[in-house]
Amino acid sequence: MRKTILISLVALCMTNSYSIANQMAIPTITPEKTAVFSSSDKLLEESYNWAKKMALSYSHDNSDPVGYWYEAALPQREAFCMRDVSHQTVGAQIIGLTKHNKNMLTRFAENISEAKDWCSYWEINRSNKPAPVDYTNDQNFWYNLNANFDVMQACLKMYEWTGDTDYINDPCFTNFYDKSLNEYVKSWKLEPENIMNRPRYMNVPKEAKANKNFHTSRGLASYVENMGGLTASADLISTLYAGHIAHSEIATLNGDKAIAQRDKKIALQYRQILEDTWWDETNAYYQTLWTEDKKFHRGEGAPFILWFNVTENPKRIRATVSDILKQEWNVENISSFPALFYRYGYEKEAYTFLTQLPRMKRADYPEVSFGVVEGVVGGAMGIQPSAQKKQIITQSHIEEGFAAIENVPVFKGYISVRHEGKKATEFTNNTGEKIVWRASFAGKQESVLVNGKKQKATIAKDILGNSFSYVNIELANNKTCKVNF
């Protein structure tokens, strides 16, 4: 019976995957005209144009067996892995790879299975097969336990950008969410009460041999792959938090208040573990790795605490930013820094990473170009869509001069935004529907001019206590509005 149900769900996923073109309502615009960026800051413009061109070079049409896809793994591997896709989706959406995102996320969702202890395929190639370098069979394969939860938060982001309700209620995705938060968590002892005491090796096949099989990597407790003995990590706990928060929002959208409250409660338990157990008050940083001998170690992982908004403690956020800036990082981590630092108001640091990334060693790693695209549009331009609120937020992080982005795919159409420093923003709505534009500006402004007419602004503070001001404007389709002060 269970096998029949799983086969039916896979069939639903496959039907979903191959009908993507019919479901997408975004009108066709050529890649050349999609997400066109210009700025008086030519270094910023050059960084973006390099990133867009590079990212598009990694995209592939529907001619391969896997369907629409882009490279999200080591270059030349012709594959995409769960971690990288989760971190490249926003950049991909911005440059018009909406079909690619949905197809790839569907592929991960449809391949969750009991035979793999509720893992999916960590890495899928263009032939729609698990990449042989990471997979032998359902008993022997590579898998980072963060993956399911990372995919979940990426799916919610794609709903917010596109308004595609399949991410919320399609059986293929909801099955993946349900199995990930229940059977998967139990199979790998990832519950809040077990996360600090789980064994190093779990669900090991009987025939496993340490020197020949993937059993030592079948269920890694971190994205940190070069340290043995790990049983938990700050990045794992952070993704567990993010997955539960994402599903809490998804359940709310589906009207299931009980599940929404349950998942939020569990998410807050993971947060409390990090705050109570992993924070080192003496050194003012979070520990990041936990080994089978019940000892903390320092390594990668801290950026995930901020990326997934796990902590809301301003002092600890600032300390974590300082901690990150003191260390050296690989390009996989640095790729997320522009968007991350702009979010927390560290504009100088964000700009430095944004303009240096194209010239860094290993800049050809796919995550770099997608990260730069997101860093410019979601970071420097401050564009944040929310399908559930029918709202799009903008806030300039451009210090002076102008910056403009035209034809960014959002909801069922496109938007265009132009900032004049931090004092004026022009917004064009071509999404195909009426939306609420929240025009936000740094600092305290009692009032602003909306198309030349004075309007009272709301003054608020961000999580670090920085003041900002905003007005909410209902904007019909095919209309342009300018706000300035």
Domains within the chain, CATH numbers bracketed: 39-381 (1.50.10.10), 391-484 (2.60.420)
Count H helices and E strands in the chain, helices first. 17, 25
pLDDT per position as a tens digit, 439-448: 999 999 999 9
pLDDT per position as a tens digit, 135-150: 999 999 999 999 999 9
Closest of 314, 309, 340 to residue 156, by C-alpha: 309
Instruction: Please state, in angstroms and rounded to a whole number, the distance separating the CA atoms of residues 199 and 292.
Output: 7
- How does the average pLDDT of the chain come out, rounded? 93
- E strands present in 6-114: 36-39, 59-60, 69-70, 79-81
pLDDT per position as a tens digit, 277-309: 999 999 999 999 999 999 999 999 999 999 999
pLDDT tier, 470 (very low <50, low <70, confident <90, very high otherwise): very high
pLDDT tier, 215 (very low <50, low <70, confident <90, very high otherwise): confident
pTM of the shown model: 0.93
- Quick one: pLDDT at residue 205? 77
CA 190 to the chain's CA centroid:
21
**pLDDT > 50? residue 48:** yes
Average pLDDT value for residue range 391-396: 98
- Contact between 358 and 47 (Cβ < 8 Å): yes
Average pLDDT value for residue range 363-372: 98
Calculate the alpha carbon distances from 102 to 53, 55, 126, 191 in Å. 21, 17, 15, 29
pLDDT tier, 210 (very low <50, low <70, confident <90, very high otherwise): low
